[in-house]
Amino acid sequence: MPHYYSPDSAAGDHAIRGHIVTVKADPFLFSDALVEYNDGLIIIEGGVITAVGEYAEMKDKLQPDTHVDHHPDGIITAGFIDTHVHYVQTGIIAAFGAQLIDWLNTYTFVAEQKFADKAYADAVAKVFFDQLLANGTTTALTFCAVYPDSVDAFFEEASRRNMRMAGGKVLMNRNAPEHLLDTTQSGYDDSKALIEKWHGKGRNHYAVTPRFAPTSTQDQLEAAATLLREYPGTLMHTHVSENLGEIAWVKSLFPDANGYLDVYDRAGLLQPGAVLAHGVHLTAHERLRVHETGSAISHCPTSNLFLGSGLFHVHQAKNHTHPMKVGLGTDIGAGTSFSLLSTMNEAYKVAQLVQYPLDAVKMLYLATLGSAEAMGLEDKIGSIEVGKEADLVVLDTKATPLLEFRSAQVETLEEQLFVLATMGDDRVIHTTYIAGNVAYSRDGH
């Protein structure tokens, strides 16, 4: 039986031993980004990695009373980071038959109204965090609903689990049902109060969250930019250029703007820590602006396929002259899986359809360090290195009979990682560590 554990604040120093694999640089730009310790050791103090290397070379550093978790059969890697997900859409995964705007009107805006009820929001937040941990996801950048209570439910649960999480209240003051709308002033005031309450408390980060250009007036987008200036270090989270009908709509709503991205650019929303979901149809000039402003794209392949939005060109996004920061997103509930392994699998197929073989090291990077860089958190999370927080996942290469059979044939680490990405999902997640403590164990021990 899977088991979830509460954070153990009394946990002393300890260590984790096994086959350690991590990506410590951007493999789209640098070779030798992958680091491997075949029989490695991670020493953890106060939730932070203080040493990592080969066990044989490090065992003398271990204090006699240090507890060592040994995973002789797994692959230990950095916890997965989901750069775009809607916890309030957990209940509408797999909603049939619509593309973006119809999907929003038919399913999403109906589902999000339920989050006016705090008890309901609390219950869904619990399901959501259980799913993150069971899928090896240790950090996520999350849309909440328009209601401040839905943000409280989110950060209360994040705090209980001691997870490094980012989220925010959706800002939308037009083009949605009456009950889901705020105003420029109330959206600003509510966001400000939530930032004061949650940002920087424990491991929580607030994200100023205008839903997308069609549901905010110019005024509201500018108020969002004011919040970002007033609270440096807060993130910005929105959607951009996901669907061709959406792009045409933005053009008609903002006729003076020079394209979709320019709506956000003119409002002052583009900066490091700004994460824009999708960007499937960005022009070369828009990609350059994302690069220049230090903003990031969250690539959400399961969602882009499910809603028929289009194919993201990851090799264009990560070109050598003006690479954008790119992370992976599940985009639940338009996305179809909480698993970043499944998301890698679909990212591979999307890249294949535009003639680019996306290799496993690049996929693992996108799901870990690339996502941390997109959120501006690469000094804290995203790889297994000294000084980073010990948010880790242990992957079981023998999780199913077929995976065990296939893993027995692999000849290289890259091949093993590719097999895990292609065939893996939550069944592969053996253990998830948060700040060095076991938070989830698939087998309950």
Cα dist from 335 to 84, 93, 290, 346, whole Å: 10, 7, 23, 11
Supply the minimum distance, in Å, between the C-beta of residue 309 and Zn ion. Answer: 11
Supply the minimum distance, in Å, between the C-beta of residue 376 and ligand GUN. Answer: 22
Supply the minimum distance, in Å, between the C-beta of residue 212 and ligand GUN. Answer: 4
Pick one of ligand GUN, Zn ion, none as the site partner of residue 346 (Cβ within 5 to 8 A by kind): none
Pick one of ligand GUN, Zn ion, none as the site partner of residue 242 (Cβ within 5 to 8 A by kind): ligand GUN
CB nearer to ligand GUN: pick between 280 and 439? 280
Pick one of ligand GUN, Zn ion, none as the site partner of residue 318 (Cβ within 5 to 8 A by kind): none
Alpha-carbon distance 325 to 308, whole Å?
24
Residues 239-298, interacting with Zn ion (CB under 5 A)? 277
Supply the minimum distance, in Å, between the C-beta of residue 230 and Zn ion. Answer: 25
Instruction: Out of 121, 144, 236, 334, point to the residue binding ligand GUN (CB under 6 A).
Output: 334
Supply the minimum distance, in Å, between the C-beta of residue 135 and Zn ion. Answer: 17
Pick one of Zn ion, ligand GUN, none as the site partner of residue 211 (Cβ within 5 to 8 A by kind): ligand GUN
Supply the minimum distance, in Å, between the C-beta of residue 99 and ligand GUN. Answer: 10
User: Does 212 sit near ligand GUN (CB under 6 A)?
Assistant: yes
Instruction: Out of 23, 104, 350, 361, point to the residue binding ligand GUN (CB under 6 A).
Output: 104
User: Does 190 sit near Zn ion (CB under 5 A)?
Assistant: no
Instruction: Out of 14, 19, 71, 239, point to the residue binding ligand GUN (CB under 6 A).
Output: 239
User: Does 331 sit near ligand GUN (CB under 6 A)?
Assistant: yes
SS (H, E, C) the chain: CCEECCCCCCCCCEEEEEEEEEECCCCCCCCCCEEEEEEEEEEEECCEEEEEEEHHHHHHHCCCCCEEEEEEEEEEEECEEEEEEEHHHHHHCCCCCCCHHHHHHHHHHHHHHHHHCHHHHHHHHHHHHHHHHHCCEEEEEEECCCCHHHHHHHHHHHHHHCCCEEEECEECCCCCCHHHCCCHHHHHHHHHHHHHHHCCCCCEEEEEEECCHHHCCHHHHHHHHHHHHHCCCCEEEEEECCCHHHHHHHHHHCCCCCCHHHHHHHHCCCCCCEEEEECCCCCHHHHHHHHHHCCEEEECHHHHHHCCCCCCCHHHHCCCCCCCEEEECCCCCCCCCCCHHHHHHHHHHHHHHCCCCCCHHHHHHHHCHHHHHHCCCCCCCCCCCCCCECCEEEEECCCCHHHHHHHCCCCCHHHHHHHHHHHCCHHHEEEEEECCEEEEECCCC
Question: Among candidates 97, 47, 427, which has minimal Cα distance to 202?
Answer: 47
Count residues binding ligand GUN (CB under 6 A): 11
Supply the minimum distance, in Å, between the C-beta of residue 304 and ligand GUN. Answer: 9
CB nearer to ligand GUN: pick between 262 and 389? 262
Supply the minimum distance, in Å, between the C-beta of residue 419 and Zn ion. Answer: 29
Stretch that binds ligand GUN, among 100-108, 268-276, 351-359, 377-385 (CB under 6 A): 100-108
Supply the minimum distance, in Å, between the C-beta of residue 318 and Zn ion. Answer: 21
CB nearer to ligand GUN: pick between 12 and 177? 177
Question: Among candidates 64, 37, 70, 38, which has minimal Cα distance to 52?
Answer: 37
CB nearer to Zn ion: pick between 240 and 344? 240
Pick one of ligand GUN, Zn ion, none as the site partner of residue 104 (Cβ within 5 to 8 A by kind): ligand GUN
User: Does 331 sit near Zn ion (CB under 5 A)?
Assistant: yes
Alpha-carbon distance 167 to 181, whole Å?
18
Alpha-carbon distance 137 to 161, whole Å?
13
CB nearer to ligand GUN: pick between 104 and 358? 104
Token pair recorded at residue 79:
């916890």
The radius of gyration of the chain from alpha carbons, rounded to an integer in Å, stands at 21
User: Does 428 sit near ligand GUN (CB under 6 A)?
Assistant: no
Residues 68-97, interacting with ligand GUN (CB under 6 A)? 86
CB nearer to ligand GUN: pick between 205 and 239? 239
Stretch that binds Zn ion, among 104-112, 217-225, 312-320, 330-338 (CB under 5 A): 330-338
Supply the minimum distance, in Å, between the C-beta of residue 238 and ligand GUN. Answer: 8
Supply the minimum distance, in Å, between the C-beta of residue 375 and Zn ion. Answer: 15
CB nearer to ligand GUN: pick between 242 and 262? 242
CA quadruple 110, 113, 119, 121: dihedral positive or negative?
Answer: positive
**Residues at the interface with Zn ion (CB under 5 A):** 277, 331
Binding site for ligand GUN (CB under 6 A): 86, 100, 104, 108, 211-212, 239, 242, 303, 331, 334
